Structure 1
Amino acid sequence: MGPPVVPSTASLARVFRAASVARVQPKKKPRSAWRRLVYPAPNACWQLDATEHVLTRGRRCVIFQLIDDHSRYAVASRVARGETVKDAIAVFDTAVVAHGVPQRLLSDNGLALNRPGAGLRPAPSMSATDVPPRGPSEDPATVSELLTHQPSPMS
């Protein structure tokens, strides 16, 4: 005598629908309709994110991770004391040296690239990509804008 056999949720739903006890929910999509957004090729889009971790004795660190959206491969990672522009650019430069320049770079509104009131803007000369500015009054406001003007990566 073992544990009682319990029917699965899907089996119960199927039985209830057949007995007209459960409501049909046509607005719900079946799991087979779920599609993961995947960029068509490597280096088409990278995503940058930083996560704060608490270490022993309450010390904190920030882990920067740069992921290729095509394969979900971590093209670069970096541990830093805080979420700074310098460290965000350093992790990007590391990835560019190893994998080439992406067509697009996405990031959230994290502190490294968006410090309210600080007036910080990444300068094109701070990146290993050596992208010339578009003009004195048209400097890119974010790294993603800077990368929009990059040539397509080599395959």
Structure 2
Amino acid sequence: MDRPIYRQEGSTLIIQPYINHLQRVKIFCLIGILFLFLALFLWFRFSDFWQLPTSIGLCLSLLSLGYYFYNIQMKVVLDKGNSEIYQLIFNRYRINKISFSSGTIVSRSLNGRFFYAISPKSNAYGNASQISPFLTKESKRLQYEQEVLPLIEAFLKK
């Protein structure tokens, strides 16, 4: 993990599981913009063969921007003041609200990729807020379990 996926602001702990993907998204968006410039050049210069670079550029740019706004900007907020856990999307919309007393940390897998999530105790297999990136490598998982997970558990118990 290059960047810390959590930060503490007063009595609030904010977790961003996919913040480390930001560099890749910037690269894909830049490549998409370069393809759009190539399409513009081909259209002005030759008036032909501009459709393929345009479609490649739009696909790369729009998909990377969508991934940025939905996954990278997604935050799980553990608010001690209100004693609730919620997921913040687009820095505005709160979903999956859970109180501290009814929340538990569960381990899950999606398509063979392991991750941790916070879900209600009453329905541990229902809606959950992902609090870790996909931990496919053993070293990454051990680092997360030793550094980040104890911090979250201690924050929930206080």
Give the TM bin, normalised by the shorter chain: under 0.3
**Structure number with higher helix proportion:** 2
- TM-score (ref. length: structure 1): 0.23
| Larger fraction in strand | 2
- Rg (Cα) greater in structure: 1
